[in-house]
Amino acid sequence: MTGIIVTTRESESRTLELEPEATLMQLICDAGVDELLALCGGVCSCGTCHVYVDAEFLPLLPPVEEDEDLILQESPARQPNSRLSCQIRLTEALQGLRVTIAPEG
């Protein structure tokens, strides 16, 4: 299996084993990737778990909800493929998902 591929701000890639039903934020934090601060603990209130999702996987994700959109609007690093990793629940369909940790900001 491919797993989840996370690219850090320093362009280092790590492949993490997919854990169905966990959030992407939980997976990244549990793997010790300390660039992803996740200060609010996954309650969609801080934006410190901001990632860029590779375009091919965007259609597989649920739409951005209002709370997530409001937080992302505050980020100067927002891009069309920006998501909060706490809002991405992992499923087998996301095997091979590639994300990059967004810059702080």
- Indicate the pTM of the whole model: 0.95
Q: Which domain holds residue 17?
A: 4-101
- In the prediction, which pLDDT does 17 show? 97
Q: What is the pLDDT of residues 74-88, one digit of tens each?
A: 999 999 999 999 999
The angle formed by the CA atoms of residues 32, 81 and 98, to the nearest 5 degrees, is 45
CATH number at residue 19: 3.10.20.30
Dihedral class, residue 59 (left if φ above 0, else alpha if ψ from -120 to 50, else beta):
alpha
Q: What is the count of structural domains for the chain?
A: 1
